[in-house]
Amino acid sequence: MRDRHHAAGPFRISWPPSTRLYRLFAFPAAPATGCIHSVRSYHNLFTTLQTLTSRLSNSLFLLSLTAIGIASCLSAPGASAAAQPPYDIHAASWMLVDGESGQVLVEHNADAERQPASLTKLMTAYIALDALKRGSVRWDEKVAVDAPDIGEVGGDEARMYLVPGQHVPVRDLVQGLIAASANDAALVLARRVGGSPAGFEQLMNDTARKLGMAHTHFSTPSGTTTPGNYSTARDLSTLALRLTKDLPEYYTFSSEQHFAYGKFEKRNKNWLLGKDPSVDGMKTGHTQAAGYCIVATAKRKQSSPPMMRRVFAVVLGAPTANDRITGAGSLLNYAFSAYKDYPLTDDARHHVVTRVAEPKLVQTSSP
């Protein structure tokens, strides 16, 4: 009968069938007199005991090697078993992504389609900044504010208090859009870049498809609760990564803690900007339908191997403003403490992989 094999890492163990186990422990048959009475019988007994001892020793040795191999695999860098993620994330869905490798580190309900509130303005900013990059709009250009642009803005919505007939520089509109989450700025920019609200909506959805945001549809540039305006934590992380890669000037505005225009002043609601110096964006949002939402990012220096790392946290549907800030901050800190980035070169192609960081050894002093 052939041996059964079990793979354990680099080792293979041969497990004897029950019949072989029987033979392993079988002793020479005793004579009819009930005693061993010949030198040959003593020799046979001695030989059998030698064989038994050898087999048991080999089996124990292989089992010891297997245990060592399994333990080393589980403790090696890059093992699939990551450290436990933060437990204090109170939100409907969330995701943590490494910005250098693009790897998802942890996620919860990341493909649930939800109202994104003012996180919609990440796409509005992407399209406006892309138009500026291509030259179809200029930073110093002054845009006339039409009454229909601001007529849709409710009194309880975030705004920079534009009035009909004003001519506002594009730079001020972009700053108000990102730092103050101003809905009136979003509507004015949408008409200027898209030609009309409908034209800008088409641009938003075309861009979403181009970026691979498969579970997203936009129906407003501002993010007010509107039928057909939805996204997911996964799609918003995709947008955050592309916004960072394609249009890094976004951070010039998202890193500002305060915004002022005329007599209007407002503090950026991404409170992580004042708590963590490594955080430099990206956007917050809130409506009754969406709950409290945030896409937050931080950039920190990694000592070994030496490099700069950026990570992104997306939190959707938190019950309070404090929950979204606490949740995003915990996710960012977890990414930097539990994972490390490693630059690699394969076939002359440079890329980065993210692996579980080696556990730090804690030394204790003797009393």
- Does the active-site annotation cover 121? yes
- Which entry of 93, 118, 222, 231 is annotated as an active-site residue? 118
- Does the active-site annotation cover 142? no
Do residues 318 and 286 touch, judged by C-beta distance below 8 A? no
- Does the active-site annotation cover 118? yes
Nearest CA-CA partner of 31 in 44, 19, 20, 48:
44
Which secondary-structure segment (H or E) carries 63?
Answer: helix 39-75
Residues of the chain by 3-state class (helix, strand, coil), percent to 5: 40, 25, 35
As to burial, measured by CB atoms within 10 angstroms (0-12 exposed, 13-18 middle, 19+ buried), residue 353 is middle
What's the token pair of residue 66?
């297997």
What's the maximum distance between 2 C-alpha atoms anywhere in the chain? 122
- Which entry of 101, 121, 222, 269 is annotated as an active-site residue? 121
Do residues 200 and 194 touch, judged by C-beta distance below 8 A? yes
Do residues 167 and 140 touch, judged by C-beta distance below 8 A? no
What sign does the dihedral 25-28-29-35 (CA atoms) show? negative
How many other C-beta atoms are found inside a 10 Å radius of the C-beta of residue 214?
12
Binding site annotation covers 283?
Answer: yes
Beta strands in 156-243 (DSSP E): 167-169
Nearest CA-CA partner of 14 in 32, 2, 28, 26:
2
- Which entry of 93, 181, 237, 330 is annotated as an active-site residue? 181
Which secondary-structure segment (H or E) carries 131?
Answer: helix 121-134
Which residue positions form the known binding site for substrate?
Answer: 283
**What residues are annotated to the active site?**
118, 121, 181
Which residue positions form the known binding site?
Answer: 283
